[in-house]
Amino acid sequence: MPIRVLPDHVASQIAAGEVVERPASVVKELIENAIDAGATSIEVETRGGGKSFISVVDDGAGVPRREVELAFHRHATSKLITANDLESITTLGFRGEALASIAAVSRMTFATRAAGEELGTYLRLEGGEIVSRREVGRPPGTAVTVEGLFYNVPARRKFLRTERTERRHVDRWVTRYAMAYPDLRFALDHGDRSAFQSPGTGELRDVLVGVYGLDVGEQALDVIADDSSESAIRVSGLVGPPSFHRANRTYITVFVNGRWVKDASLTYAVTQAYDRLLPKGRHPMAVVMVDLPPSEVDVNVHPAKAEVRFRDGDAVFRAVQKAIRRTLLERAPVPEMGGRSSSSDAEAPWSAGARGWRDGEARRKRLTALGRAGTEEQSQLRLGSARPLDSGEGVLPPLRVIGQLGTTYIVAEGPHGMVLLDQHAAHERVLFERLLNQRKGAGVPSQSLLEPALVDLGPEAADVLDEHLDILGQVGFEVESFGGSTMMVRALPTIVAEEHPHQVLADVAETFLSGEEPLRVPAEEAVARQVCKRAAVKAGQVLEQAEMAELIRALEDCESPHTCPHGRPTMIHLSVEHLARQFGRT
Ligand code: ADP
Ligand code: MG
């Protein structure tokens, strides 16, 4: 084919692909424009997760009448004049691409009135073409609607996810900007349901309550600003105390100069600040603002401006880590665990102390529960399962417990050598199969709380739990919506009945929320896995001989004893031959 210059509308659609990935990207760009225009109130509304309709209304400066069309030209911006200005960007936008891009792939209306003008302007565009323009009376500010996103790019439209997934992405952007700009009032509605609001008080904590719920809002610690250093890097925000931890990193949010960034290094700096303060595999909640002179950071490295490059990345890393570490040490209600101990035994104090099994009593009770349930249900379990007892694959050989290694592994002797079991993985497997069998059979044992607990996890989590109440019921939860983002918990699965309902539900909500297409496995299994993970003995817990023997006995009853529910091995086998080879005996 000969080389040709692409027609304008094709070029626009291609360029739009860079900026507009999904409804949430439209919301993000329109919010950025509103913030850049000095708005104090930003109202976002979506329908169909934004796939059918998006509206963003602000009370900012508006666009002067003679500039309205210009705003839709590619590379038309009021925020940048020379290339040098790129060195000192203080606005969220600067490329002049968003409006042109969004317009190219949707049906759009743009109604705006500049503060100093009598009349406003209303534009209607389809696929980037202006199809009508008239004057309107309206308050100062701008109202944009976007309908039929990607209506003219079927290949892209096809890739949009379910309404719920798209809605969640919208939620994330609105809540992010609300956190980054606590002075501004944000409101987000999905259809006629109000999903989120921030009061515009200027207090990040007030926003946090709306995003993550009351508990988080109350517990979060103000990051201590470092006034002593010469450095121009300022770190502020709110971080969770070590007692508040989550199953994944999605509760870590970092802003650089008022811009949300996805920066693995800064996320790691946050995690590092919690070193040895959190149980293994758990992550903190943190909303961190990093502010530094614009010349110290390049924001022009990513189409959606979600990544930045620092002139001195190490300094930023250190500043973040230091500020949060200091905050935790000075303000966290729990003293540092592990102290100066070597890293190898650093995990031990946790499991024995601050969380999970707070004392040996609770632990004993639970393992007794394991034993009891084991014997009671063995017959039922066998009846209920189709596992041929003599098939070689799944079945465990008889194992004799020798002892515990590093409070993490069980050392056992089998007929053909030594077996090392991961106590947590093994227990997870036992609990998981038992729970699924109970679900199919008599039902998962559930324990009522002395008093129903009200748990506020924020709108996103409440929303997703609400949608899965039936599944929660199947695995032993008794939960209902209590209005707003509050859930009422009446009962928990017995195996986690001693845990804090807030933590248990938060984990379950995350199971639903994490990732793009969170549930490739059936939802009830995903929830069961999460519950069992929490209930299982942890690495670092001292087990008595009888407890270990009981665990192995229970594992023998499993259909798939060799892996944990997440697919990791529960045991490693060191054969007699292997040992002999290692010792040079053969
Ligand atoms: P950029 O934000 O990079 O400048 P956009 O395409 O997002 O590019 O917007 C183009 C221009 O339109 C902006 O520079 C601004 O002058 C104007 N504009 C867009 N949205 C708004 C708004 N909500 N309020 C006021 N002006 C706006
Ligand atoms: Mg913009």
Each residue's pLDDT, cut to its tens digit, for the chain (586 residues) gives 788 887 777 777 777 777 898 999 999 999 999 999 999 999 999 999 999 999 999 999 999 999 999 999 888 788 777 777 777 788 888 878 899 999 999 999 999 999 999 999 999 999 999 999 999 999 999 999 999 999 998 888 888 888 888 998 999 999 999 999 999 999 999 998 888 999 999 999 999 998 988 888 888 999 998 777 678 899 999 999 988 888 778 899 999 999 999 898 999 999 999 998 888 778 899 999 999 999 999 887 777 777 889 999 999 999 999 999 999 999 887 444 333 333 333 332 222 223 332 333 444 444 544 433 333 333 222 222 223 323 444 577 889 999 999 999 999 998 889 999 999 999 999 999 999 889 888 889 999 998 899 999 888 888 889 888 988 998 999 999 888 788 999 999 999 988 889 999 999 998 888 754 444 567 788 889 889 999 999 999 999 999 999 999 999 889 889 888 888 889 998 999 989 998 998 7
Contact 61 CB / ligand 1 (< 6 Å): yes
Whether 407 and 350 have beta carbons less than 8 Å apart is answered as no
Two structure tokens written together for 261: 């960034």
* pLDDT for 206: 94
Whole-angstrom Cα distance, residue 280 to residue 283?
9
Helix (H, G, I), strand (E, B) or coil at 251: helix
Two structure tokens written together for 191: 């259809």
Whole-angstrom Cα distance, residue 102 to residue 15?
10
* pLDDT for 382: 26
Contact 560 CB / ligand 1 (< 6 Å): no
**Ligand lying nearest the CA atom of residue 75:** 1
* pLDDT for 518: 43
* pLDDT for 313: 93
Q: Give buried/exposed letters for 406-437 (b at 16+ CB in 10 A, else e).
A: ebbbbbbebeeebbbbbbbbbbbbbbbbbbbb
* pLDDT for 374: 36
* pLDDT for 229: 66
Whole-angstrom Cα distance, residue 96 to residue 99?
7
Of the candidates 248, 256, 270, 271, the residue with the CA atom closest to the CA atom of residue 307? 256
Contact 297 CB / ligand 1 (< 6 Å): no
pTM, to two decimals: 0.70
Q: Which atom of ligand 1 is nearest to the CA of 144?
A: 23
Whole-angstrom Cα distance, residue 341 to residue 358?
20
Ligand 1 centroid to 111 CA: how many Å?
Answer: 13
CA atoms within 13 A on the CB side of 254: 26
* pLDDT for 365: 45
* Residue 448 identity: S
User: In the 8-state DSSP scheme, what is residue 412?
Assistant: E
Give the CA distances from residue 136 to residues 79, 133, 506, 551, in Å, rounded to whole numbers and listed in that order. 26, 10, 47, 74
* Residue 245 identity: H
Contact 37 CB / ligand 1 (< 6 Å): yes
* pLDDT for 567: 81
Q: In what order do the strands lie in the sheet with 221-222?
A: 221-222, 234-239, 286-291, 252-256, 259-261
* Residue 155 identity: A
Which parts of 367-481 are beta strand (E)?
Answer: 400-405, 409-414, 417-422, 446-456, 478-481
* pLDDT for 32: 96
* Residues near 269 by beta carbon (within 8 Å), at least 6 away in sequence: 316, 317, 318, 320, 321, 324
Whether 207 and 198 have beta carbons less than 8 Å apart is answered as yes
Ligand 1 mutation target, pool 36, 66, 81, most atoms within 8 A of CB? 36
Whole-angstrom Cα distance, residue 2 to residue 521?
49
Contact 64 CB / ligand 1 (< 6 Å): no
